[in-house]
Each structure stands twice: as C-alpha cells, then as structure tokens.
C-alpha cells in the first residue's frame, strides 16, 4: 500500500510541476490535458487514501446495480434469499442495493450484539428518499433517527397506548368490534375469504382507539380506505428505484407517483381527524390517543423556556398519530391472516385452544384478566408470530458511528437490516423450524417458557416496535374470542401451504385461502 501511495504522490507532483511549467511559458493558460490528468490523479488518490473497512463478506456486486438482479429480483422474496446466503457467508453479510452497501444480520447472536450490546451505534435510520417522503422529512417515530424529537414522541406514544389500549378500555372496544366480525363470519353459508374482514376489523378498532370513531364494519368508506391502505403498504413493501437512482427523484416512476398520491390520501384522512379533535378538544373529556398527543403539544407550547416546542409542530403531531394508526392496522391484520390460516389448517391446535378457553371462561368471552390462565392460547399466538414474521426484515437501521458486529467492521452511516424471518427458522434454535407446534413455547408442566433467544417478532433494543406492549394482548384476545365462538376449517380444494405469496420483497404474506366457519353451540362453549 505504501508503494501505491508513493506512486500517487509522484504523479500528483508531476502534474503540478507540468502545470507550473506551462503557466510560466504561457501565463493564465492550462491545457485540458493537464486538467484531466490532475483531476484523474486526485480522484484515484482520494479513492486509495480512503479508509478501508473489513466489512462482513457477501456475494460479488456489479458496478452501479450491485446485487439487485440476484437478491431483490430473484424467484424468492428478499428475506429468504438472504437467509440462504448465510450458509455460505455467515450470520453477518454485506449486499449492495445498487451502489448502496447494506449489512444484513441473519442470526440471533449478531442481532443481539448489534441492537442490544451496541444499541446506541445501530439506533439510526437510513436517509432513504422514500422514507423521507413517507415521514414528511423524517419527522415521525418510525423513520426518524435516535434524537431528542424521537425520544419525546416515542414516550408520548407509549403512554397513550398504555392508557387507551389496555385493560378494561381495550377489552370493551375489542369485544364490541370482534363480536360483530364474528357475527358476520358466522352468517356466511359458504367458503369465506377472511382477508378483507380482518383488515376492516383492525381499521374499525384502531379508528376507535385513535379517533373515538364509531364506524360499522359495513361502512362503505371503509372499503375505500382498505383498498387505498393495502395498495399503499404493498407498493412500499417492494421498494422504490428512486432510493438508489437519484435522478428519478426529479422524474419519478409511475409507481412512485401513484404511491405518493395514495400517501396523500392517507395523510388527508389523518389530518382531517386531528383537525376535528382540535375543534372539540376538552381537557375534561379526554377521548382517545389523538387527544392525548394534542394535550402534549399544548403543554409543550406553555413551557416558555423549553426548546422542545420545536418538536411539537402540527407535522410532528400528525406523523405520530399516523404512525400509531398505520402500525396498528397493518402488521396486526397480516398476523390475523396468518393466524386464521394456521388455525383452520390445524384443527387439533384449535380444539386444544377451545378446551382451555372453555375451562377458564365458561360461557363468557375471554378478557384481559384471563391472559395468565391461558398458556396454550398464548403459546399458539407466539407460534403464529414466529412463523408469520409479517415484517421479516423489520425497519432498516443506520449506524451512527464506526462500529463492529460479528467480528467485522461497520462504518458510520451504513444501512443495517435484521432478518427476523431467518431468526424464526434458525435450525440451531428451533426443532423442526417449519412445523406449527405451539407446545414448543411451553415447559413440561404446560407453563410458558422464558422468551427464546431467537424469538424476536417485534425486534429488540431501543428501536424495537413500540406497539408490542399492546399488540400481544390485543391479538391474543382477538384469536381467543374467535376460537371461543367459532370452529374454522379450510374450504374444500384448499390445502395448507407455508410458502409465502411472492408479491412483496420484504413482506411475508400467506397464499390466498378460504375457510368454512361454523358457530359453536352454547353447550360447546361451557
């Protein structure tokens, strides 16, 4: 390396001396040839002098397009392709999305090292163009980096979720909405596609928590919202060329323009609800999550000497509400899709859940207080979360400083992704990893075991999903209420297939399916 640097140094000196000689003979003139030589030598020198990092290994990348042809546009979703690369390159690998390097972590030990032991180093978010558009300049919780604004809004959001989406308040809303959904399912006389119903179910519930809404499941506006939201998340799940080809940001693709249009529709709905809440806000009648966030904004405005007011613009408030609304709908409805698919496909698991629920709840619907008495039902939820892995690559991280993981160096501002799908199927941690076996989460006495090392459905560390505190009890009660009243089975002609629907690079969705629903008699539910 020292010999190469000496050559570069001599070339630079030669170019400079040639320039001086020409200038001395013809003052004020420098030939194009000398300029080209000088510029080339400078670029080569900068490249050679640039600090080298011992990045994790990975497949060879092509100039400009990187590994895109093989990893992003192959026959399998991205998370499965990356999991297979682990066999050759190890648990930490480097791939290139176009010219952008990304470190992928595919095993529990390196994920824990990065997100827990070195959590501060890996707590940023990448400055991807599409993420900036989605978050109105990185002013939300999900895509903003570890900062004062992020800490403030995350704390406010967690407090709001715990207050409005837990205990008796959550139970009342859930029983009301889920009972109506169960009635609609039971009324079906033929095969039922549950996909639309699960999404509308989550829309109505989150609308009630966020906006004190009172929509019915058959509200025609919900169909429009459902269609818009589903297309929005599907398009985001396939990535955008604008993130890796900067000129396209000035001449965006048709796909990206449609995405922005739908994003604007979603934002318009959120801000319409917020504006209504501002007009009717009362400290003596706090109604929902949005009121809670508006109160935090008002209190910040009253703190005259605080600098935090800059983090409570209307955009910050809107983005926080949108985070909680969108996150509450999307991952939950996909988990419901997977869960109903598994329950309809494995009747023995469903029967064991029903027996446990009947023994604990008798003829009533299960409630929040029953959770500790339903270990098998909770183990079934965990197995659905493990195999469902609805956000298999989680949300990308960015390193905030030069750091390391798995014995390799990772420079500052490197994008890092966590392959939760690979963790959930690691044969070193899971016996028969593709099998649906809820009992793997129970000990010999039928009690829940401590969280396995490779079980991270909501990620880990300071950037783990803030909705975890409400998602698990919420999903548990939804599944419990459905199985308590209904028996599910796959419709004739449908056979369970664990292979995901390959329509998204980074979302893990089940194959289309239909099921047959029969209502359990009151005698069966005692």
Q: Count CA within 13 A, CB hemisphere, residue 314.
A: 9
- Per-residue CA distances from 92 to 88, 118, 265, 319, 410 (Å): 11, 15, 39, 33, 11
Dist CA 432 CA 440 (whole Å): 10
- The answer to whether the annotation marks 368 as part of a ligand binding site is no
The Cβ of residue 298 has, within 10 Å, a number of other Cβ atoms equal to 12
Dist CA 300 CA 313 (whole Å): 10
Q: Is 135 helix (H, G, I), strand (E, B) or coil?
A: coil
Q: Long-range CB contacts (< 8 A, 24+ apart) of 166-172?
A: 166/368, 166/469, 166/470, 166/473, 167/368, 168/368, 170/209, 170/368, 170/470, 170/473, 170/474, 170/477, 171/367, 171/368, 171/477
Q: Is 31 helix (H, G, I), strand (E, B) or coil?
A: coil
Instruction: Return all residues near 249 (Cβ < 8 A) that are at least 6 apart.
Output: 129, 242
How far, in whole angstroms, is CA 112 from its chain's centroid? 18
Q: Count CA within 13 A, CB hemisphere, residue 513.
A: 28
Q: Which single residue is written with the structure tokens 């095993």? A: 107
Instruction: Return all residues near 64 (Cβ < 8 A) that are at least 6 apart.
Output: 98, 99
Dist CA 391 CA 493 (whole Å): 29
How far, in whole angstroms, is CA 52 from its chain's centroid? 32
Closest CA to 189 of 513, 516, 521: 516
DSSP string, 242-268: GGT-GGGGTS--HHHHHHHHHHHHHHH
Beta bridge partners of residue 403, listed in sequence order: 410
Dist CA 212 CA 349 (whole Å): 36
The size of the chain, in residues, is 526
Q: Is 481 helix (H, G, I), strand (E, B) or coil?
A: helix
Dist CA 208 CA 333 (whole Å): 16
Dist CA 357 CA 187 (whole Å): 23
Closest CA to 53 of 401, 419, 417, 418: 401
Angle, CA 461 vertex, CA 141 and CA 368 arms, to 5°: 80
Beta bridge partners of residue 95, listed in sequence order: 102
Q: Which residues are annotated as a binding site?
A: 465
Q: Which residues are annotated as a binding site for heme?
A: 465
């Amino acid at each position: 390396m020292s010999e190469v640097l000496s050559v570069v140094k001599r070339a630079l000196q030669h170019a400079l001396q040639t320039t001086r000689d020409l200038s001395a003979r013809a003052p004020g003139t420098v030939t194009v040839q000398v300029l080209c030589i000088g510029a080339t030598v400078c670029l080569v020198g900068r490249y050679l002098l640039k600090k080298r990092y011992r990045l994790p290994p990975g497949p060879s990348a092509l100039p400009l397009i990187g590994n895109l042809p093989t990893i992003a546009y192959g026959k399998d979703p991205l998370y499965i392709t990356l999991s297979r690369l682990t066999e050759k390159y190890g648990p930490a690998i480097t791939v290139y999305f176009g010219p952008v390097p990304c470190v992928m972590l595919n095993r529990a030990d390196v994920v824990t090292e990065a997100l827990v032991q070195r959590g501060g180093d890996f707590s940023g978010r990448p400055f991807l163009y599409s993420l900036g558009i989605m978050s109105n300049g990185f002013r939300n919780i999900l895509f903003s980096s570890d900062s004062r604004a992020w800490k403030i809004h995350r704390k406010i959001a967690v407090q709001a979720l715990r207050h409005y989406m837990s205990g008796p308040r959550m139970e009342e809303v859930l029983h009301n909405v889920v009972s109506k959904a169960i009635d609609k399912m039971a009324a079906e006389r033929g095969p039922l596609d549950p996909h639309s119903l699960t999404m509308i179910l989550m829309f109505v519930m989150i609308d009630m928590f966020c906006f004190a809404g009172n929509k019915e499941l058959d509200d025609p506006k919900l169909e429009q919202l459902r269609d818009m939201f589903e297309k929005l998340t599907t398009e985001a799940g396939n990535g955008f060329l604008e993130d890796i080809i900067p000129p396209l940001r000035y001449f965006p693709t048709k796909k990206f323009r449609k995405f922005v249009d739908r994003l604007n529709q979603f934002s318009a709905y959120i801000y319409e609800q917020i504006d209504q809440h501002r007009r009717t806000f009362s400290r003596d009648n706090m109604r929902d999550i949005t009121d809670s966030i508006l109160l935090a904004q008002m209190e910040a405005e009253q703190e005259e000497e605080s600098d935090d007011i800059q983090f409570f613009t209307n955009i910050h408030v809107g983005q926080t509400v949108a985070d909680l609304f969108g996150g509450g709908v999307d991952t939950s409805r996909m988990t419901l899709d997977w869960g109903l698919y598994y329950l309809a496909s494995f009747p023995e698991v469903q029967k064991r859940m029903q027996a446990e629920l009947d023994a604990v709840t008798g003829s009533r619907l299960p409630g929040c207080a029953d959770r500790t008495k339903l270990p098998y039902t909770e183990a079934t939820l965990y197995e659905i979360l493990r195999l469902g892995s609805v956000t298999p690559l989680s949300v990308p991280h960015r390193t905030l400083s030069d750091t390391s993981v798995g014995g390799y160096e990772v420079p500052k501002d490197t994008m890092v992704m966590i392959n939760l799908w690979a963790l959930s199927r690691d044969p070193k941690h899971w016996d028969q990893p593709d099998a649906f076996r809820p009992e793997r989460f129970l000990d010999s006495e039928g009690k829940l075991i401590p969280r396995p090392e490779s079980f991270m459905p909501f990620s880990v560390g300071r950037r783990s999903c803030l909705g975890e505190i409400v998602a698990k009890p919420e999903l548990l009660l939804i599944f419990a209420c459905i199985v308590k009243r209904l028996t599910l089975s796959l419709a004739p002609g449908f056979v369970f297939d664990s292979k995901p629907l390959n329509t998204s690079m980074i979302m893990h969705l089940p194959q289309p399916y239909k099921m047959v629903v029969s209502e359990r008699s009151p005698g069966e539910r005692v």
